[in-house]
Amino acid sequence: MVSEEKRTELLKKIHDSVVEFEEETSVKLCTEALNEGIDPYDAIMEGLAAGMETVGGLYEQKEYFVPELLLCSDAMYAGLDVLRPHVKVDKSVKTVGKIIMGVIEGDIHDIGKTLVKTMFEAAGWEIYDLGKDVKLEKFVEELKRTEADVVALSALMTTSMLAMPKVIGMLKAEVPEVIVMVGGAPLSLEIAKQYGADGYAKDAVAAVQEADRLFKKVA
Amino acid sequence: MQLRQDRMTSLERIDALFNYQKPDRISVGAMSTGFNTKNAGFTVADAYEDPDKSFKAMMWTTQQYGWDPIPQYAGHTVLGAWDFGGEVRMPQGEYEGALVITSYPVKDEGDIDGLEMPDPKKAGRIPRAMRFSELQAAHDIPVFFFSRSPFTMAANISGIDQFLRWTMKKPEACEKLLRLSIDHIFNVLEYWVETFGPDMIFAWMSSPSESNQLISPGTLKKFALPYHAEYHKRLKKLGIKRFGLHVCGDQNLNLPLLAEASPWQHPSVLSFGHEVDIETAAEHFPKDIIYGNIEPAVIQTGTPEQVYELSRVAIEKGKKAPGGFILGPGCGLPVMAPPVNVWAMTKAANDFGWYD
In our burial notation (b when 16+ CB lie closer than 10 A, e otherwise), range A155-184 reads bbbbbbbbbbbbbbeebbeebeebbbbbbb
The arithmetic mean of pLDDT across residues A89-104, rounded, is 78
CATH for A32: 1.10.1240.10
pLDDT the model gives residue A2: 87
Residue B353 phi/psi, 5-degree rounding, is: -95, 0
The arithmetic mean of pLDDT across residues A194-204, rounded, is 95
CATH for B240: 3.20.20.210
Say if residue A162 is in the same domain as residue A57. no
Say if residue A157 is in the same domain as residue A185. yes
Structural domain boundaries enclosing B26: 10-352
> What does the pLDDT profile of chain B (356 residues) look like in tens digits?
567 888 999 999 999 999 999 999 999 999 999 999 999 999 999 999 999 999 999 999 999 999 998 767 677 889 999 999 999 998 888 888 888 899 999 999 999 999 999 999 999 999 999 999 999 999 999 999 999 999 999 999 999 999 999 999 999 999 999 999 999 999 999 999 999 999 999 999 999 999 999 999 999 999 999 999 999 999 999 999 999 999 999 999 999 999 999 999 999 999 999 999 999 999 999 999 999 999 999 999 999 999 999 999 999 999 999 999 999 999 999 999 999 999 999 999 999 999 98
| Contact residues on chain B for A158, CB-CB shorter than 8 A | 97, 296-297, 300, 332, 334-337
CATH for A152: 3.40.50.280
pLDDT the model gives residue B2: 66
**Final residue of a structural domain among A92, A112, A140:** A92
**Final residue of a structural domain among A92, A122, A140:** A92
pLDDT the model gives residue B1: 58
Say if residue A130 is in the same domain as residue A195. yes
Say if residue A77 is in the same domain as residue A102. no
β-partners of residue B339 are none
Q: Which of B97, B93, B83 is nearest to B47 (CA)?
A: B97
Say if residue A119 is in the same domain as residue A211. yes
- Per the structure, the count of domains in chain B is 1
* Chain A residues 58-117 within an 8 A CB cutoff of chain B: 62, 65-68, 70-71, 74, 104-108, 111, 114
Query: From CA B270, how far away is CA B217, in angstroms rounded?
Result: 18
B22 burial class (0-12, 13-18, 19+ CB within 10 angstroms)? exposed
Chain B: give the shortest CA distance to residue A140, in Å.
Answer: 18
| Contact residues on chain A for B294, CB-CB shorter than 8 A | none
Has residue B124 been placed in a domain? yes
Say if residue A165 is in the same domain as residue A210. yes
Q: How many other β-carbons are positioned within 10 Å of the β-carbon of residue A91?
A: 13
Has residue B3 been placed in a domain? no
The conformation of residue B25, written as its DSSP 8-state character, comes to B
pLDDT the model gives residue A94: 57
Supply the ipTM of this predicted assembly. Answer: 0.94
> Using CA of residue B153, residue B156, residue B157, residue B158, what is the dihedral sign?
positive
| Contact residues on chain A for B219, CB-CB shorter than 8 A | 65, 67
- Tens of pLDDT, residue by residue over A2-56, are 899 999 999 999 999 999 999 999 999 999 999 999 999 999 999 999 999 999 9
**Final residue of a structural domain among A37, A57, A92:** A92
**Binning pLDDT at 50, 70 and 90, where does residue A219 land?**
low
Say if residue A47 is in the same domain as residue A86. yes
For residue A176, pLDDT beyond 90: yes
- Tens of pLDDT, residue by residue over A78-88, are 999 999 999 88
Cis preceding-peptide flag for A35 (omega within 30 of 0)? no
Has residue B148 been placed in a domain? yes
Query: From CA B314, how far away is CA B319, in angstroms rounded?
Result: 8
Nearest to B96 among A106, A111, A188 (CB): A106
Whether residues A66 and B167 touch (CB distance < 8 A) is answered with no
B302 burial class (0-12, 13-18, 19+ CB within 10 angstroms)? buried
Say if residue A69 is in the same domain as residue A167. no
Say if residue A185 is in the same domain as residue A82. no
Q: Which of A18, A129, A123 is nearest to A64 (CA)?
A: A18
Say if residue A87 is in the same domain as residue A102. no
- Per the structure, the count of domains in chain A is 2
Chain mean position to CA B187: 20
Residue B29 phi/psi, 5-degree rounding, is: -145, 175
Structural domain boundaries enclosing A14: 4-92
